[in-house]
Amino acid sequence: MRRLITLASASAALLLAPLLPLHGAAASDIEPSPTQHAAVHIITKSLTAHWPTTPIPASPQSLHLTLPAELAAFQIDSFAWNLGLGEGSTGTAPGNATSIDIPLPLDLPPHQGLSVVISVPDQETGEPDLSRDSALLWASFTTGDSSGSPAQDAFDYDLSLQNAVASDLRDSSTGSPSPAVLRPGSDFVLDAEDGFWTAPSGLNEPDREIVPQVRLDGNADDRTIDLEYTRSDDGSELFVAIPAGLVDDDVADMSLWVAFYQPRDRSDPQGRMGRFELRMPVRLEHPITTERLGGEDRYDVAVNVSKASYPNGARVAYVVTGSGFADALTAGPAAVKEGGPLLLTTGDSLLPEVSAELARLAPQRIVMVGGPAALTPDVQEELEGIAPTERIDGSDRYAVSRNVLTHAFPDGPSQVFIATGRDFPDALSAGAAAGVSRLPVLLVDGAAPTLDAPTAELLRALSLYRATVVGGPIAVSSEIEAELASFTRANRLFGADRYETSVAINVAVFPHESQAFFATGTTFPDALSGSAWAAKSAMPLYAVRPDCVPDSVLGSLQRTGVGVATLLGGTAALSQAVAELTPCGPSD
Inter-residue contact 317 to 343 (CB < 8 Å): yes
pLDDT of residue 323: 93
* Ramachandran assignment for 254, one of left (phi > 0), alpha (psi -120 to 50 degrees), beta (any other): beta
pLDDT band per the 50, 70, 90 thresholds, residue 32: very low
In total, the chain counts a number of residues equal to: 588
pLDDT of 146 > 90? The answer is no
CA distance 47 to 275: 10
**What is the second-level CATH architecture of the domain 10-42+174-284?**
Sandwich (2.60)
Residues near 163 by beta carbon (within 8 Å), at least 6 away in sequence: 51, 52
pLDDT of 2 > 60? The answer is no
pLDDT of 171 > 80? The answer is no
Span of 292-301, 433-442, 552-561, 562-571 with lowest mean pLDDT: 552-561
pLDDT of 351 > 50? The answer is yes
CA triplet 215, 216, 220: central angle to 5 degrees? 130
CA distance 145 to 479: 87
Paired with 137 in beta bridges are: 49, 118
Task: Give the residue, 127 or 433, on which the prediction is more confident.
Answer: 433
Q: Do domains 10-42+174-284 and 45-168 have the same CATH topology?
A: yes
pLDDT of residue 275: 61
pLDDT of 205 > 70? The answer is no
pLDDT of residue 252: 82
pLDDT band per the 50, 70, 90 thresholds, residue 363: very high
Share of the chain above pLDDT 70, in %: 83
Paired with 230 in beta bridges are: 239
Give the 3-state DSSP-derived string for 324-340, with helices as H, strands as E and coil as C.
Answer: CCHHHHHHHHHHHHHCC
Span of 24-33, 443-452, 533-542 with lowest mean pLDDT: 24-33
* Candidate ranges 59-63, 126-130, 244-248, 301-305; pick with highest mean pLDDT: 301-305
pLDDT tens digits, one per residue of 251-270: 888 888 888 765 444 444 44
Name the E strands within 203-247: 212-218, 224-226, 229-231, 237-241
Average of pLDDT values for 185-214? 70
pLDDT of 340 > 90? The answer is yes
Handedness of CA 543, 500, 442, 536 (dihedral sign): positive
Share of the chain above pLDDT 90, in %: 51
Fold classification of 45-168 is Immunoglobulin-like (2.60.40)
pLDDT of 315 > 90? The answer is yes
Span of 86-90, 212-216, 259-263 with lowest mean pLDDT: 259-263
pLDDT of residue 136: 87
CA distance 424 to 588: 20
Q: Domain boundaries in the chain?
A: 10-42+174-284, 45-168, 289-579
pLDDT of 554 > 50? The answer is yes
pLDDT of 162 > 60? The answer is yes
pLDDT of 577 > 90? The answer is yes
Residues near 577 by beta carbon (within 8 Å), at least 6 away in sequence: 547, 548
Give the 3-state DSSP-derived string for 438-473, with helices as H, strands as E and coil as C.
Answer: CCCEEEECCCCCCCCHHHHHHHHHHCCCEEEEECCC
Consecutive H or E run containing 514: none
pLDDT band per the 50, 70, 90 thresholds, residue 202: very low
pLDDT tens digits, one per residue of 390-403: 999 999 999 999 99
CA distance 477 to 454: 18
CA distance 103 to 83: 9
How close are the terminal C-alpha atoms of the chain, in Å? 45
pLDDT of residue 220: 72
415, 441, 456 from 450: Cα distances, Å: 20, 18, 9
Nearest to 389 by CA among 357, 363, 354: 363
Could you tell me how far CA 403 lies from the centroid of its own chain?
Answer: 41
CA distance 455 to 444: 8
Report which DSSP code applies to 395.
S
Consecutive H or E run containing 349: none
Inter-residue contact 58 to 151 (CB < 8 Å): yes
**Listing from the earlier edge strand, what are the strands of the sheet with 489-493?**
441-444, 415-420, 466-470, 489-493
CA distance 216 to 227: 7
pLDDT of residue 128: 45
pLDDT of 10 > 50? The answer is no
Span of 20-29, 128-137, 373-382 with lowest mean pLDDT: 20-29
pLDDT of residue 404: 98
Phi and psi at residue 489, in whole multiples of 5°?
Answer: -70, 135
pLDDT of 282 > 60? The answer is yes
Name the E strands within 247-341: 254-265, 268-284, 289-293, 316-321
pLDDT tens digits, one per residue of 492-503: 999 999 999 999
Task: Give the residue, 549 or 559, on which the prediction is more confident.
Answer: 549
pLDDT of residue 129: 52
pLDDT of residue 295: 93
pLDDT of residue 198: 74
Span of 90-99, 210-219, 484-493 with lowest mean pLDDT: 210-219
Task: Give the residue, 500 or 44, on which the prediction is more confident.
Answer: 500
Inter-residue contact 61 to 151 (CB < 8 Å): yes
pLDDT of residue 389: 98
Could you tell me how far CA 540 lies from the centroid of its own chain?
Answer: 17
pLDDT of 78 > 80? The answer is yes
CA distance 53 to 143: 11
